[in-house]
Chains A and B, each alone.
Chain A
Amino acid sequence: MNPVSYLALTPEAIKILKANGCWSRSWPKVKVTKGFDPTRIAGTIFRGEVRIGSLDGEFVPRDGIRRYAGIFDANLHNVTIGNNCHISNINGWLSNLIIEDNVLMENVGSIVCQGETSFGNGHAIEVLNEGGGRELKITEMTSAQTAYLSTMYRHDAALIKALDQIAENYAVSVRSDRATIGEGAKLFHCQNIVNVNIGQGAILRGIQNLKEGTIASSHEAPTFVGDGVIAKDFIIQKGAYVSDGALLSATLIGEASKIGKQFSAENSVMFCNSEGFHSEVCSIFGGPYTVTHHRSTLLIAGMFSFFNAGSGTNQSNHMYKLGPLHQGILERGSKTGSSSYLLWPARVGAFSAIMGKHYANFDSSDFPFSYINEDDGQSTLVPGMNFFTVGTMRDGLKWPTRDRRNNSDKLDQLIFEVLSPYTGQKMMRGQALLLDLYAGAEKGQEYVSHQGILIKRLLLKTCSRYYRMALEKYLGDALVARLTANPPKELKALTTPLDGAEDGDSSWLDISGLLCTQPRLNNLLDKIKTGDVTTLHTLQIELQKIHDSYALDEWSWVLQAIPQVYDFESITSDNLKTVLEKWKVSSNKLLNMVEMDASKEFEGNVRTGFGIDGHQDEDFDTVRGKFEANSFKKQLDEMRQAVQSNYDRSLNILKNI
């Protein structure tokens, strides 16, 4: 809102206001802008300092009923109202508020600011561990990465102190005894709102109770908070949708997340593009794309990202000894089957599918893309198998297309890739481990045990080949992308790390959606600890830089991985042709296996239930269609064609180097 000069009411204006049923104990405290039209105000009580902008605009909201700027049947106390606002039917009070221009507010209980507050910013929540010890100070600028560092790097006291201070500084910077309702916000049929900042363009409709919070919003990414929402000590970030009886307590809802249908969250964060319906979360670190849709699902004391919870998913975070101090980690891309259960502590490797009930406190982080099954009450692992399923391929394709964030100042830094140096290094480690386990196993042995979980001896070699195949696919993907994006003239240009890249042998980390090398992260941590990064804004800029370095560092990793995976002494043109050849074979194998997996949706038992009074096949074909005509099947065919054309093109480029 631009600085405005206000004038006292003229006697004529006061006379009109009184005639319109308005009342004030002290009219001189009511000030207005030049050109003020007192006929636009009726039935309003003025208390304390009230400032009113021009009232000559109009609104046509979605219901199509034109509203004119004005104030009708309202109780105002210490309020500054911008230009062209429509405020009507305020049953309680609007108190200690800055209402920016073009706000529409209709049929509202009370919106008040009581004393100084930071509007939920700086509130410490007990994320991941109910018993405390990982308190995260949430702010409207908290990204998944910032929260990850604050939550998971507790061993680094200097870092935590600095991050807490950064969050605290932000909280102080927004601290005020006046709450703001941002430009263009619309509020309909709301009950009580206490100490809440509401961002530009936000829409609040039918909320029940909001206390101590911030609803970040912008015109490019408006936030919606709707019917029956009760929230306390909360942050809702830009573009989020929260409605239908959602209950939030000490919780951060990330950008473009969707929350509703009586979902309940306590001491939790759920970063961008998350979805929570029906179910309950307690002390979770929900990274980007944490999705739980079913009433009987509880997520507790766990870390998730790119995660989908099946119905009835449950975990326990205490073993009835010293209380709820256990935690679990499901690395990115994992999903739980219906009625699955995990007794924390446990750690699940990336892109794994968990089925059944698990009491084993296992750690499968060395084995991404795994199936985790329950076999006679024991937890068993099939490493690498989930790489070849429809689900993983579809997930990998859908996440980038389902990034609903419209704001240009996105907080969470995301690298979507399923195959990356992060999963690549795990698969290399996993492959070696599986072969070691095989070498050490007796032939009559049914299972081998690793980090608390059982792996069938028979599958050790098979699964190591799965990783090999996935690595051949990934390294070839990277080579093809590099060759075709910018065809090099000579081999050296191809095999030299890119300018500004990290060493290829650096460890890779998943900082809640951001894949990066350990040295790059360490560099940022140093900057935070030494005071080079002192604000959430500059921290965002640094995280963005790390995000932007992904492709550089990835190529360095690929260059060091190729000789290791293929046992090459060096990278020659002929060796790269081998990489290309293997890539073509593995890519086609993957597509064939995924197709076989997908075709199961059309065969045999899946037809059960179709054709209630006969005509089973006809009923199935009519409802589900033929596999050959399925869009995913067609997509796979297109991918096969792309493999061949990319192979031909890349081979040509290599031949000319």
Chain B
Amino acid sequence: MSTLDRIKNVAAELLKTDSSRIQESSRFVEDLGADSMQSIELVAAFEEEFDIEMDEDAALGVKTVGDAVGFIDKVLAQG
């Protein structure tokens, strides 16, 4: 499964929405309705899903699903 699909699944489960509603351009706050708490939970959920540790402030700066894909792929590439 691609990073995008895994991110969509995680976000859909946490934000209690259908993953088909989530696009690469979807903004977590404005389009998917994530509040500040859910934003932090999303970071934690991505960390668990990908078994990575994300830099807190940089991760919270991620606005869209596409940004998240780029961010996580970069972390994964860094090993």
Contacts and interface: CB of A to CB of B under 8 A. Distances in A.
Nearest to B42: A458
Contacts of B41: 456, 458-459
A459 B40 contact: yes
A385 B60 CA distance: 13
A371 B36 CA distance: 12
Given A589-B56, A593-B60, A596-B61, A462 B37 contact: no
Nearest to B14: A458
A425 B34 CA distance: 33
Interface in B35-54: 36-37, 40-41, 43-45, 47-48, 53
A461 B44 contact: yes
B56 A465 contact: yes
Contact of B60 (A456, A465, A588, A596): A596
A604 B28 CA distance: 12
A382 B36 contact: no
A177 B40 CA distance: 65
A373 interface: yes
Contacts of A604: 29-30
Nearest to A388: B56
A459 B44 CA distance: 6
- Majority secondary structure, B binding face: helix
Interface string A61-87: 000000000000000000000000000
B37 A371 contact: yes
Given A458-B44, A461-B44, A604-B30, A373 B57 contact: no
Contacts of B29: 604
A216 interface: no
A272 interface: no
A545 interface: no
Given A462-B47, A604-B29, A589 B40 contact: no
Contact of A382 (B40, B43, B45, B47): B40
Contact of A596 (B37, B44, B55, B57): B57
A461 B41 CA distance: 11
Contacts of A588: 57
Given A596-B60, A604-B30, A385 B47 contact: no
Contacts of B47: 461-462
Contact of B48 (A382, A458, A589, A593): A458
Contacts, number: 41
B40 A462 contact: yes
A385 B56 contact: no
A469 B56 contact: yes
Nearest to A590: B57
Interface string A354-371: 000000000000000001
Contacts of B61: 592, 596
B56 A593 contact: yes
A358 B45 CA distance: 27
A367 to B, nearest CB: 15
Interface residues of B, number: 17
B77 to A, nearest CB: 21
Contacts of A649: none
Nearest to A597: B36
Interface in B2-58: 29-30, 36-37, 40-41, 43-45, 47-48, 53, 55-57
A592 B60 CA distance: 10
A600 interface: yes
A462 B52 CA distance: 12
A597 B41 CA distance: 16
Contacts of A596: 57, 60-61
Select the residue from A371, A458, A461, A469 with max chain B CB neighbours within 10 A.
A458
A646 B71 CA distance: 31
A604 B39 CA distance: 15
Given A371-B37, A604-B29, A589 B57 contact: yes
Contact of B40 (A373, A385, A469): A385
A604 B45 CA distance: 25
Nearest to B54: A462
Nearest to A373: B37
Contact of B57 (A459, A593, A600): A593
Contacts of A465: 53, 56
A458 B45 contact: yes
Nearest to B56: A589
Nearest to A465: B56
Select the residue from A373, A588, A596, A600 with max chain B CB neighbours within 10 A.
A596
Contacts of A456: 41, 44
Contacts of B53: 465
Contacts of B55: 589
Contacts of A385: 40
Nearest to B58: A592
Interface in A312-330: none
Contacts of A589: 55-57
A177 to B, nearest CB: 63
Nearest to A456: B41
Select the residue from B43, B55, B57 with max chain A CB neighbours within 10 A.
B57
Interface in A440-490: 456, 458-459, 461-462, 465-466, 469
Contacts of A593: 56-57, 60
B38 to A, nearest CB: 11
Contacts of A371: 37
Interface string A573-605: 000000000000000110011001100100010
B51 to A, nearest CB: 12
B60 A462 contact: no
Contacts of A459: 40-41, 44
A557 B43 CA distance: 33
A458 B48 CA distance: 8
A462 B43 contact: yes
A459 B56 CA distance: 12
Given A462-B43, A589-B56, 13 more contacts: A373-B37, A382-B40, A456-B41, A456-B44, A458-B41, A461-B44, A462-B47, A465-B53, A465-B56, A469-B56, A589-B55, A597-B36, A600-B36
Interface of A: 371, 373, 382, 385, 456, 458-459, 461-462, 465-466, 469, 588-589, 592-593, 596-597, 600, 604
14 contacts: A382-B37, A382-B40, A456-B41, A456-B44, A458-B41, A458-B48, A459-B40, A462-B56, A469-B56, A589-B57, A592-B57, A592-B61, A593-B57, A604-B29
Interface of B: 29-30, 36-37, 40-41, 43-45, 47-48, 53, 55-57, 60-61
Which 3 A-B residue pairings sit nearest by Cβ, starting from the closest? A592-B57, A462-B44, A458-B44
